[in-house]
Chains A and B, each alone.
Chain A
Amino acid sequence: MKLIIAYIQPHKLEDVKTALAAADVGKMSVTNSLGCGAQQGYHESYRGVGFDVNLLKKIRLEVAVNQEFADKTVKAIISAARTGEIGDGKIFVLDLAECIRIRTGEKGHDAIG
């Protein structure tokens, strides 16, 4: 089992959801996040006083999948979130030790399903 964590541009979320659905991946959780990386921040000003904002708004997308789905999921995310410009985001793929469905107590492969 793998846990796939992707940081993407907020406005790409709809496209990514569509691409994942097309790849038969229908389960995910999404949170707002702030972060900084290669993409520089931007400049704001308030009543004439300027300041830099370098924590940018991103979407954190988490998908837990069985081994055979890991590649498909990563490819779907890339195909939808990629513009070719700095700031497109990153994908982390982690080994997932266990997964338990709370309602039924199922574990592992069945629980992710």
Chain B
Amino acid sequence: MNHDLVVNRLRKGFVLVLLFMMLASLAVAEEAVVDPVTAAIEAAKEEMQSNINIVWTCIAAFLVFFMQAGFAMVEAGFTRAKNAVNILMKNLMDFSIGTLAFFVIGFSLMFGANKGLFGWDGFGLSGVEGDGSDWNWTFMIFQTVFAGTAATIVSGAMAGRTKFKAYICYSVFICALIYPIFGSWAWGGLLNGGGWLENLSTPFCDFAGSTVVHSIGGWLALAGAIVLGPRLGKYGPDGKAKAIPGHNITLAALGVFILWFGWFGFNPGSTTVGDGEIGRVAVITNLAAAAGAIVAMIISWTVGKKPDASISLNGALAGLVAITAPCYTVTPVGAIIIGAIAGVLVYFSVIFIDNVLKIDDPVGAVSVHGVCGAFGTLSCGLFNAEKVLGIGDANGGLFYGGGFAQLGSQLAGVGAAFAWAFGLGMLMFTVIKVTVGLRADKDEEIKGLDIGEHGMEAYAGFQIFSST
């Protein structure tokens, strides 16, 4: 008896509570516009998303920084032991000097409010508050490591014969002027700027920097290698190219894996948003790299009779460089095709530059970054499939029925990058040549830049000198 009574009362009480809640919710519905609870939830979500974006962008920046180690290992491994200290010092210094130059000048030219041809305000992040939520800090470290990547591409192409002093001069110019001004044309609008390439009627598409970062570095590398001339012994008296084998393929392979790893920050990080697109861009990036490595291996196997390790490693990098521009806007099939074409391109480009143009590029920087960067940028105009991916209203790519508009903008960007970086590069390296001197003297080159420029050896105590 007693038990039933209690249950009954509880039921009555429960019904009353329900009624009250329904009334309350009706009242809330009438004044939903100013509901403080929903507003607070929205604000919290927004703050959470903004913090996730900052955390993701910073992690991506740190991954891209690690690519410096990758470049250092690739370049050291692909060149001779007697120049290893020099390569490592160049990689250390172009990032360190580039960081300061980009912080003080470059960032403002690239992302400051556009005053004509490039940005011009906020030098050295002046006027930015110390508040940790300010996006400018995150954006600064993210963009600094990108500038550092462009700068470090050049050292490999100029390996084994460049005066260290001359290389330091170059490092200042690229991060203070050459890279940021071109960057402002394509990427200025990411912050306060805005340049002509991104304001074309069909905006130039370079999501993570096939052109802005890699081609700029690659074309500067080409200019540097031309002004320097080939290493002693690279071309015989008959003009035929000779192989000068790298001293450590183990290190070179480690470097390529580090670069591949870092690229998961380079491309997916360029969304600067912490959401599911990180995964999508990572898949696209990975597919292109894998296709590039496989195709480069197959070509070296069929043309050269053996699966060549250094060409296959370059093939992976070629795929990565090529997919950097279209990584956000192409389908997985598109990515595989782009990576595969880059794998073909890098093989023939290396041979063409070596044997026909007779330009000595010890690590293949011009082929990987310049040529494949240009191709990757153009591939946006061929393979962009925004509608298929559900991120746009129309497909931009020619192969997806988008016509020639996107391809035209891509051509403009690729052409402008070549004219700007190669033209200024030739001028800059020629000026360095006649002022501080660009090339190390002959004795020093024969003995090795490590002893001549830095007074030490990379492998003290090891008798690993070769006859070249």
For the complex, count residues of A whose C-beta is within 8 A of B: 16
Asked whether any CB of chain A lies closer than 8 Å to the CB of B446, the reply is: yes
Q: Using an 8 Å CB-CB cutoff, how does the interface string of B443-468 with A read, 1 for contact, 0 for none? A: 00011000100011100100101111
Contact A43 B455 (CB under 8 A): yes
Contact B455 A11 (CB under 8 A): no
Asked whether any CB of chain B lies closer than 8 Å to the CB of A98, the reply is: no
Contact B468 A11 (CB under 8 A): yes
Across the interface, name the chain B residue whose C-beta is closest to A8.
B467
Across the interface, name the chain B residue whose C-beta is closest to A42.
B451
Partner of A14, one of B456, B457, B460, B468: B468
Query: How far in angstroms is the closest Cβ of chain A from B446?
Result: 5
Query: How far in angstroms is the closest Cβ of chain B from A18?
Result: 9
Query: How far in angstroms is the closest Cβ of chain A from B188?
Result: 44
Across the interface, name the chain B residue whose C-beta is closest to A32.
B463
CA distance A9 to B455 in the complex (A): 20
Contacts of B466 in A (CB 8 A): 10
Asked whether any CB of chain B lies closer than 8 Å to the CB of A34, the reply is: yes
Partner of B467, one of A13, A46, A50: A13
Contacts of B463 in A (CB 8 A): 32, 34, 57
Contact A59 B451 (CB under 8 A): no
Contacts of B468 in A (CB 8 A): 11, 14
Across the interface, name the chain A residue whose C-beta is closest to B466.
A10
Known: A32-B465, A57-B465. A11 touches B456 (CB 8 A): no
Across the interface, name the chain B residue whose C-beta is closest to A58.
B465
Asked whether any CB of chain A lies closer than 8 Å to the CB of B233, the reply is: yes
Listed residue (A10, A34, A46, A59) with the most chain B CB atoms within 10 angstroms of its CB: A10
With A11-B233, A44-B451, A57-B465 already in contact, 19 other A-B pairs whose C-beta atoms are closer than 8 Å: A10-B466, A10-B467, A11-B467, A13-B467, A14-B233, A14-B467, A14-B468, A30-B467, A32-B463, A32-B465, A42-B447, A43-B455, A44-B455, A44-B456, A44-B457, A45-B455, A45-B456, A46-B456, A50-B455
Query: How far in angstroms is the closest Cβ of chain B from A73?
Result: 19
CA distance A14 to B446 in the complex (A): 13
Contacts of B455 in A (CB 8 A): 43-45, 50
Query: How far in angstroms is the closest Cβ of chain A from B80?
Result: 11
4 A-B pairs closest in CB distance: A13-B467, A45-B455, A57-B465, A11-B446
Contacts of A45 in B (CB 8 A): 455-456
Query: How far in angstroms is the closest Cβ of chain B from A26?
Result: 18
Interface residues of A (CB under 8 A from B): 9-11, 13-14, 30, 32, 34, 42-46, 50, 57, 59
Interface residues of B (CB under 8 A from A): 232-233, 446-447, 451, 455-457, 460, 463, 465-468
Across the interface, name the chain A residue whose C-beta is closest to B446.
A11
Query: How far in angstroms is the closest Cβ of chain A from B203?
Result: 52
CA distance A59 to B466 in the complex (A): 9
Contacts of A50 in B (CB 8 A): 455
Query: How far in angstroms is the closest Cβ of chain B from A113?
Result: 26
Contact A10 B465 (CB under 8 A): yes
Contacts of A44 in B (CB 8 A): 451, 455-457
Contact A46 B460 (CB under 8 A): yes
Contacts of B233 in A (CB 8 A): 11, 14
CA distance A65 to B203 in the complex (A): 74
CA distance A86 to B466 in the complex (A): 21
Contacts of A32 in B (CB 8 A): 463, 465
Listed residue (B447, B451, B455, B467) with the most chain A CB atoms within 10 angstroms of its CB: B467
CA distance A30 to B468 in the complex (A): 14
Query: How far in angstroms is the closest Cβ of chain B from A41?
Result: 11
Query: How far in angstroms is the closest Cβ of chain B from A58?
Result: 9
Listed residue (B232, B233, B465) with the most chain A CB atoms within 10 angstroms of its CB: B465
CA distance A14 to B243 in the complex (A): 13
Contacts of B465 in A (CB 8 A): 10, 32, 57
Across the interface, name the chain A residue whose C-beta is closest to B464.
A32
Across the interface, name the chain B residue whose C-beta is closest to A34.
B463
Query: How far in angstroms is the closest Cβ of chain A from B84?
Result: 14
A–B pairs, 19, beta carbons within 8 Å: A9-B446, A11-B232, A11-B446, A11-B467, A14-B233, A14-B467, A14-B468, A32-B463, A32-B465, A34-B463, A43-B455, A44-B451, A44-B455, A44-B456, A44-B457, A45-B456, A50-B455, A57-B463, A59-B467
Contacts of B460 in A (CB 8 A): 46
Query: How far in angstroms is the closest Cβ of chain A from B328?
Result: 46
CA distance A49 to B460 in the complex (A): 14
Contacts of B446 in A (CB 8 A): 9, 11
CA distance A45 to B85 in the complex (A): 13
CA distance A50 to B460 in the complex (A): 14
Contacts of B447 in A (CB 8 A): 42
Query: How far in angstroms is the closest Cβ of chain B from A42?
Result: 6
Across the interface, name the chain B residue whose C-beta is closest to A50.
B455
